[in-house]
Structure 1
Amino acid sequence: MAIWLQGNLQAHDFIPADYWTGNVPLVRDQISKATLWLVQDQRDHDIIAFCGLQDNYIAGFFVDEQARGRGVGAALMAKLQQTYPKLTLAVYQKNIGAARFYRRHGFTLLKQDRDETTGQLEDVLVWQQPR
């Protein structure tokens, strides 16, 4: 939960912080129902990244601040793309860094939408394994 909260507060400064802190109980419940992919630090085995999936929908993709820029996210995404034939996700349009990351990994725009809970515009992206 610490990685989730930290990541959201840092990446989404355009959304009030109390939105994220207020959603901790809900997300904790959703995480318990999701398929989780974890990356552990090789030295101390702490979790440094994770992805929560609901079927083929990436509900959350987070890399701990100290592990960013080391290829951790790219390795996790590569593993997901080796495992799943199709992935979808939604990313806030103002989260430019995350949108750039997903597009670098082959995601393309499926549609634009507005997140009902925050009012923010988001892009729904899709990736499919080449046939």
Structure 2
Amino acid sequence: MIRQARPEDTDAILDVWLLASLQAHDFVPAAYWWRQQEQMRARYLPSAEVWVCEREGEIQGFIALVGDYLAALFVRPDCQQNGIGKALMTTAKRLRRRLSLRVFSENDVAVHFYRQHGFAVTDESVDPCTGQPELCMGYQGH
């Protein structure tokens, strides 16, 4: 079930974010992700519209939207390949006519996923926090 996040979901959302970030971004030192947890809790999540995928009472993935910006789409590593990302993306597209996002260029799985869902590269840049190259991608609904 996909539903809007509640305050009591925060710890579970952070767990999903950290586990998925460590797995998907092995080209960024793990310490970076551990250090970002408090920023996620205190600043990023409260400023976003967050939706979660809950199955059997457990949060398995989430999206975070800030306006038309898809700030996050993460699925717990042991729950991937079960349609959760697709369901979350469908929710994001239902909520917004257009979407933009940034994704690390080296995150091939995510880049492929976004392309499959109609996103196209609009620009390239370097993430100022990690120094990693990233793609800016956009989606325009019908």
Report if TM-score (shorter chain) is over 0.5.
yes
In the TM superposition, residue 118 of structure 1 has moved relative to its aligned partner by 0.5
Task: Name the aligned partner's letter for residue 78 of structure 2.
Answer: Q
Could you tell me how far apart the structure 2 residues matched to 1:23 and 1:82 are? 29
Contact 2:73 2:88 in 1 (8 A): no
Aligned mates of 1:15, 1:112 — CA distance in 2? 18
Partners of 2:86 and 2:118 in 1: how far apart?
12
Q: CA RMSD in A?
A: 0.8
- Answer yes or no: is 1:14 the counterpart of 2:27: yes
Structure 1 residue 66: deviation in Å? 2.2
Instruction: Find out whether 1:123 has 2:132 as its counterpart.
Output: no
Q: Percent identity?
A: 34
Residue 59 of structure 1 is matched in structure 2 by 71
How far did residue 22 of structure 1 move? 0.6
Q: Is residue 26 of structure 1 aligned with residue 39 of structure 2? A: yes
Q: Name the count of aligned residue pairs.
A: 128
Deviant stretches of 4+, over 3 Å: none
Deviation at 1:53, TM superposition (A): 1.0
Which runs of no fewer than 5 residues in structure 2 stay unpaired? Answer: 1-13
Aligned to 2:83: 71
Q: Distance in 1 between matches of 2:61 and 2:93?
A: 16
1-structure distance, mates of 2:40, 2:91: 24
Once residues 18 and 101 of structure 2 are traced to their aligned partners in structure 1, the CA distance between those partners, rounded to angstroms, is 18
Q: Which residue of 2 aligns with 1:36?
A: 50
